[in-house]
């Protein structure tokens, strides 16, 4: 397969994915002009190649336009197909007009991606009000799943785990991780009043003698995990571990998690972060191979 993987400068994803796919990798060359605009350059020949842009979309506002420029450049320079591999897919949580006048960013972003790329591969996108990626994207789109790797990590590192989801949206990950780890699970009820104002309620008494393992798809402010860990501590549970797919960790999150008394937090490698301890790149590579072979 004549495949080239191009990544974001300084991010390990492209080289990691290219190693799994036995492909060549390089980074996009970016130049920031004094006026804040970005010049994008491909430092590798792409004529006749399938080109994979492997860029996780944390900090999406800064990455989105350069990526669209790069996709067009690749196509104009003769790429056979141009794929986006974004282990973290941005804007998926804005799947409803929560307040009057708000933009439905997930739909607009999907339209932009669909108009510039031939296919999309991601890891566990935040699908809640959107049923699946096909509802949003008009190009072939695949989601690789982190649950098997998360379950494996939990089974190897936590004795007698009780898998706990901080809200009903986490049920899809929690139930699957628990089944694969052979552990019981519960899901809390969450109320979010603002970005950093979150409270949760336990569904009832919890199984005794278990180590709680909070499982969520995204850690952003960390407030969901902190509220959930607080409720577990009040219920007498000790040694809470947290496992997350996408470690967005906005600036105050590390402090919040520390205060929140979570004993250990481990994330998947979908966004490079010091908490990374679970590899999803092999699953991502399988999804890339699959989408390339099934789209001819």
List residues with catalytic annotation. Answer: 190
**200 near ligand R5P, judged by CB under 6 A:** no
**169 near ligand R5P, judged by CB under 6 A:** yes
Residue in 56, 80, 66, 55 with CA at minimum distance from that of residue 29: 66
Q: Which of 222, 243, 271, 291 binds ligand R5P (CB under 6 A)?
A: 222
Query: 38-41 and 29-32: which strand pairing?
Result: antiparallel
**220 near ligand R5P, judged by CB under 6 A:** yes
**95 near ligand R5P, judged by CB under 6 A:** no
**219 near ligand R5P, judged by CB under 6 A:** yes
Residue in 226, 231, 216 with CA at minimum distance from that of residue 267: 216
Q: Which of 221, 240, 267, 270 binds ligand R5P (CB under 6 A)?
A: 221
**273 near ligand R5P, judged by CB under 6 A:** no
With respect to ligand R5P, which residue has the nearer C-beta, 58 or 217?
217
Query: 141-144 and 161-165: which strand pairing?
Result: unpaired
Q: Which of 50, 95, 124, 167 binds ligand R5P (CB under 6 A)?
A: 167
| Binding-site string for ligand R5P from residue 224 to residue 263, where x marks contact by CB under 6 A and - marks none | x---------------------------------------
Nearest-angstrom CA–CA distance, 165 and 56: 24
Q: What is the DSSP string of 16-78?
A: HHHHHHT-EEEE-EEEE-TTS-EEEE--S--TT-EEEEE---TTHHHHHHHHHHHHHHHHHTT
Q: How far is the CB of 179 from ligand R5P (least distance, A)?
A: 19
SS3 102: coil
* CA max distance for the chain: 62
Number of residues that bind ligand R5P (CB under 6 A): 15
> Which residues are at the interface with ligand R5P (CB under 6 A)?
93, 166-167, 169-170, 198, 216-224
């Amino acid at each position: 397969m004549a495949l080239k993987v191009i990544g974001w400068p300084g991010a390990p994803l492209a080289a990691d994915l290219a190693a799994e796919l036995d492909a060549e990798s390089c980074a996009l060359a970016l130049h920031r002009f004094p006026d804040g605009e970005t010049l994008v350059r491909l430092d590798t020949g792409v004529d006749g190649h399938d080109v994979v842009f492997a860029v996780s979309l944390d900090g999406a506002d800064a990455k989105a336009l350069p990526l669209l420029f790069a996709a067009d450049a690749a196509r104009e320079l003769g790429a056979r197909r141009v794929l986006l591999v974004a282990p973290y897919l941005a804007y998926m949580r804005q799947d409803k007009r929560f307040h009057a006048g708000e933009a439905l960013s997930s739909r607009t972003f999907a339209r932009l991606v669909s108009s510039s790329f031939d296919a999309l591969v991601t890891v566990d996108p935040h699908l809640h009000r959107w049923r699946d990626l096909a509802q949003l994207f008009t190009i072939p789109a695949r989601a690789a799943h982190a649950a098997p790797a998360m379950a494996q990590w939990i089974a190897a590192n936590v004795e007698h785990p009780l898998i706990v989801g901080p809200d009903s949206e986490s049920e899809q990950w929690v139930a699957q991780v628990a089944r694969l780890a052979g552990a019981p699970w519960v899901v809390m009820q969450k109320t979010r009043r603002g970005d950093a104002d979150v409270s949760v309620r336990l569904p009832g008494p919890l199984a005794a003698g278990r180590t709680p393992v909070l499982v969520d798809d995204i850690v952003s402010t960390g407030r969901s995990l902190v509220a959930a860990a607080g409720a577990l501590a009040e219920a007498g549970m000790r040694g809470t571990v947290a496992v997350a797919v996408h470690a967005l960790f906005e600036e105050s999150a590390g402090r919040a998690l520390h205060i929140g008394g979570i004993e250990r937090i481990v994330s998947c490698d979908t966004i490079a972060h010091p908490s990374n301890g679970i590899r999803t790149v092999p699953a991502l590579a399988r999804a890339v191979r699959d989408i390339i072979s099934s789209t001819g």
